[in-house]
Structure 1
Amino acid sequence: MTSSISRFPVPETLDSLPDDIRDAILAVQEKAGFVPNVFLMLAQRPTEFRAFFAYHDALMERESDTLTKAEKEMIVVATSARNHCLYCVVAHGALVRIYSKDPLLADQVAINHRTAPISERHRVMLDFAIYCSIEVGELNDEWEARLIEVGFTREDIWDIGAVAAFFGLSNRLVNLTGTPPNAEFYLMGRVPRGK
C-alpha cells in the first residue's frame, strides 16, 4: 500500500488486516475491479472501519419510501462539493452517473444544483440536504411542508438529513487524511466498462 493514500498509516498488506475487514475490502475489489482508497485509509482503525461502513450500508443500501439510490448519491455529491471533498464528489459522482444513466448529472449537481437541469423535487431535496450539511439542519414546519409537497415522506426526510450528516463526517475524514479519489472513479459511468 502507498502512503499517497493518506497522511496517516495505511495497512502494509491486506493480509495484515482482521479477517472481516480484509474480506470486505476483497469483496469491494471484486465488484469494482479496484480497492477504493477510502477503504484503505479507514482500515488502519478496524473498529472505526466497521462502524463507518455499517452505518454507510444502513443508510445507502436500505430501501427508502420513495428516495432512490441515484437521489441518495446526488445528495452526497451536492453536499460533498460544498464541503470541498474531492474524493466524495468524484467517487459518488460515478455512482450518480451509473444509477441515473446520465453522464452529465453529477458534474452539474456538484457545481450548482440550482442551475442543473433537475426536477423541482430534486432541487428541494438538495436545498434541504445542503441546509442539513452546512447550516443548522433543523427540520421545521416550513421545510417539512416543502419536502412533502414535492413527494417526500417523513422517512425520506430522515434519510435526506442522515445522508447529508453522514457524508459530512466522511468529507471531513477524507479531507483530514488527504485521501485522493482513485483514478478509476473518473471514467465510471462515462465510458463502457472494460474500455
Structure 2
Amino acid sequence: MTDSTDVSRFPTPALDDLPEDVRDRILAVQEKSGFIPNVFLVLARRPDEFRAFFAYHDALMDKPGNLTKAEREMIVVATSSPNQCQYCVVAHGAILRIRAKDPLIADQVAANYRKADITDRQKAMLDFAIKVSGEAYRVSEDDFATLASHGFTEEDVWDIAAISAFFGLSNRIANVTNMKPNPEFYGMGRG
C-alpha cells in the first residue's frame, strides 16, 4: 500500500501488488486516457469488489440501447450532485462534456438540470433518476406513464433506475473514502 492522501483517505495499493487482471484493467485505462482515474486506485484495494463494481458499471454504461452514452453520463452527473459527490460530478462531468460534445452541459446539469439546455425528454429522465436516487419508495405508475409519454420503454426505465441506484452506491463510497477527482478531469471537454 502507498500513502495516498492526494487520492483518498485510504492507502492505495501499488500496481505491482495487484492481481494481474486488476492491474491490466488499470493499465489499459491509463493507456487510453493518459492517466489513472483515482476511482480505479481506490477500489483496487479490494480486488473482488473492484471486479464486481466495474463489471456492473460496464453493464450499465457501455450497453447499447435507447439511452445515449451522453444521457447515461447525464444521469450520473444529475444524481451525484444532490449526493454531493465531488468525484463523480467532476469525473463524469468530464465524460459528459466529451460525449455530448458540449463544454457547458455538465456544469448546467450539476447545478440545476431543470434549467439546463437539455430536451424535455431528458428532463423527464432526470426527474425520474433523481426520484430513484433519493426517494425510490415514491416511484409510482405515474412515473412510468410520464416516461412512456416521452418515448421511454420499460427497458429504458430499468436502465435509468439502475444507473441512478448504482451511482448512489458509488457516490457513498467516494464520499466515505474522500476520493479526490484527478486534476485532468477539470479541463476535459471544455475547449
**TM superposition score category, shorter chain reference:** over 0.9
Report the Cα offset of residue 8 of structure 1.
1.5
- How many residues get paired? 189
SS at match of 1:114: helix
| 8 A contact 1:137–1:161 mirrored in 2 | no
Instruction: Give the match for residue 171 of structure 1.
Output: 171
TM-score (structure 2 length as normaliser): 0.96
**Structure 2: which amino acid aligns with 1:61?**
D
Report the Cα offset of residue 117 of structure 1.
1.7
The CA RMSD measured in Å over matched residues stands at 1.0
Are 1:181 and 2:185 matched, yes or no? no
Instruction: Give the match for residue 61 of structure 2.
Output: 60
Unpaired runs of 5+ in structure 1?
A: none
**Structure 1: which amino acid aligns with 2:130?**
I
SS at match of 2:114: coil
Instruction: Give the match for residue 125 of structure 1.
Output: 125
Instruction: Give the match for residue 14 of structure 1.
Output: 15
**Residues 85-111 of structure 1: CA distance to partner in whole angstroms, max 9, x if unpaired?**
000000000111011101000000000
SS at match of 1:23: helix
**Structure 1: which amino acid aligns with 2:124?**
V
Instruction: Give the match for residue 33 of structure 2.
Output: 32
**Residues 116-173 of structure 1: CA distance to partner in whole angstroms, max 9, x if unpaired?**
1211101100000000001125542100110010111110000000000000000000
**Structure 1: which amino acid aligns with 2:132?**
C
SS at match of 1:31: helix
SS at match of 2:103: coil
**Structure 1: which amino acid aligns with 2:71?**
E
State the identity %.
63
Report the Cα offset of residue 7 of structure 1.
1.3
SS at match of 1:127: helix
Instruction: Give the match for residue 148 of structure 1.
Output: 148
1: distance between equivalents of 2:121 and 2:127?
10
SS at match of 2:117: coil
Unpaired runs of 5+ in structure 2?
A: none
| 8 A contact 2:3–2:11 mirrored in 1 | no
